Chain A
């Protein structure tokens, strides 16, 4: 394996792993705080039980999120030192704000997790809200940094050096808002559907269980709203990259030839040799509409870019199809929920509905991984779009594949342990929380 590939794969594995915990860290505090709030208002045991049960899981996920994030802050340099040498002073600012957000988050989480019996109830609740807000803010800050890689601004580039650095302009680059919006929604979609799915599965085995029923309801409510907004935000993102990164758009749509109007290509297998897409469905003119809001508009294809500046089409296109497919499926599920929410109790007794929700469990996270693949692979061969190529940024140290193997093995092992741990955690819920016990018929 060559060093460049090893470095890219290691970055992808580390980020793909971290993002799972990051999404959970952004969403769960808000679900917990919501549940605790309901408890404060209604005094019903089930709400406080839920908040406590969730908080145990969050403590574990948060710790893993924190250490895997630390790994990332070193890895950016370990793998791509040339990149960080130039980019550090430009896009370091969101990272330094993110540091603040982490601090606040970690401290508030400590208070929340260990302060159940020591604090005034409302102070405790407030600490949960603070965890949620700072979690979302840290997500937004990092994504702003990533947005800068997609849409570099706030400096001028002369002879391989950056001049006139303006960190504020770099942070508020053209991509930050669309990406941050889409990412935040994605975190909510992925986590909420996963939580709802797990509880729906448990509910299937014990259909009168108030604890799991409440959990499904709370999680789905958040998930449904976010899932409904997600395609809208995705459309904004697509229009945005049509302007900023036409090569990325062309790759994710597998558009080899500049067309006016351009068809939307659904599914299919891109064939780089022949520059066509096999077995795809074509929707005439629709891509022009999606990218530019006009059925007749011209859309730039890959033929406008030299071969060595085209992103890998196959991966990007397939990842995009997966994300969008899941996006519509989840939006549909969310819509069903919103429509049926009046008859909610009734729905939660239906096996098919619970099976449906349970089967959605991993999909949100798959979409998150796919979405990042679109963003990152779609930016190739650039590490800073249009400025620096990934191959010029990689570490000169030979043998990078060994750290890739090591990280992969360690993360695989940890994944297995965490899954086992969660299963044991779930199995004991009934012994700790009265509302989670099966009631005799």
Chain B
């Protein structure tokens, strides 16, 4: 049972990365593509962003119901970056919606856009920083030390920053690929293809940098990596898919391209997951929090599982319907 809950947690996290990531990334890509990109971004994400976003809420609910100690610990130790993530989520959602609906003069429009782009970048960076801090193991469960040692240093470091930048470029990559398929004119397609390649290269370099900086902080990702067969398999597959992606960029086929990239991203996450399983949060003195030592009692897990399964029964067909309705003719104006 625990295993199924872990799988659902993992799946919602992966789906948030893919779907929510595409949303955040769209804001990042818009910054790179400039004003011309605004219309297509609005059109592509307006009907779906709220639904995509619920995957994060689901992951949080699973976390505090199923693994309460992990939720409580990150809430305390990573209060500051999480608060910034929240502000980012608020700013991003509201500025996007305001921009989409407000009939206001161009000037406020420009403000909305600026906020939207800035928060689309800041939020994934701080999400990544938070994850980085969970991996790095500078969080001290005994809460001794100065304010800086307890609440700042665990996330305020180069490693976490690199993980943050990695997340942002990954999201940008997902979005750029997604937007290739949304583009109506060949010139737009070309633009997004170029941006996709750029972000893919950026993501790979950041990924390598994550491993290198970890060494400086005494966290030996390389050796952990080589101990996990699953990780090696997953990351090798990612590497093998990269030329495939490049091939598909030059011979665009929306479905294959999106599928290839989704598989790539999923594998990156699975590979990572395999590497640190069952640890959720590395602790300074070795009291790591794992799925096992933080799990909620049996009765809770059982009810949680029922709620999740019944929920998925409703949600998956509904999602399918939503995407079918809007992707069928995505070239059209949905702004009715």
Contacts and interface: CB of A to CB of B under 8 A. Distances in A.
Interface string B249-260: 000000000000
Contacts of A106: 50-51, 53-54
A110 interface: yes
A70 B53 contact: yes
Interface string A400-441: 000100100010001001001100110010000000000000
Contacts of A90: 300
A411 to B, nearest CB: 8
Interface string B301-336: 001100110110011001101100110010000101
Contacts of B51: 103, 106-107, 110
B57 A102 contact: yes
Given A56-B101, A70-B53, A424-B103, A100 B336 contact: no
Among A81, A100, A107, A114, chain B packs the most CB atoms within 10 A around the CB of: A107
Interface in A89-145: 89-90, 92-93, 95-100, 102-104, 106-111, 113-119
Among B83, B91, B319, chain A packs the most CB atoms within 10 A around the CB of: B83
B98 A99 contact: no
Interface string B201-216: 0000000000000000
B48 interface: yes
B119 to A, nearest CB: 11
Given A60-B98, A90-B300, A81 B307 contact: no
Contacts of B311: 96-97, 99-100, 103
Nearest to A395: B76
Given A71-B86, A93-B307, A103 B314 contact: yes
B60 interface: yes
B102 interface: yes
Given A111-B322, A397-B79, A89 B65 contact: yes
Nearest to A117: B336
Interface stretch (B66-74, B236-244, B271-279): B66-74
Given A70-B56, A95-B61, A119-B325, A107 B300 contact: no
A104 B97 contact: no
A85 B68 contact: yes
A366 B310 CA distance: 37
Nearest to B111: A417
B279 to A, nearest CB: 19
Interface stretch (A160-168, A274-282, A303-311, A329-337): A160-168
B300 A406 contact: no
Contacts of B53: 66, 70, 106
B64 A77 contact: yes
A167 B303 contact: yes
A64 B53 CA distance: 13
B76 A397 contact: yes
Contacts of B60: 73-74
Given A64-B97, A397-B150, 20 more contacts: A76-B64, A77-B72, A78-B82, A81-B73, A84-B72, A86-B68, A88-B71, A92-B304, A93-B65, A96-B61, A98-B61, A99-B54, A99-B307, A103-B315, A165-B297, A395-B75, A397-B79, A403-B79, A406-B83, A424-B103
5 contacts: A70-B90, A74-B60, A85-B68, A100-B311, A116-B336
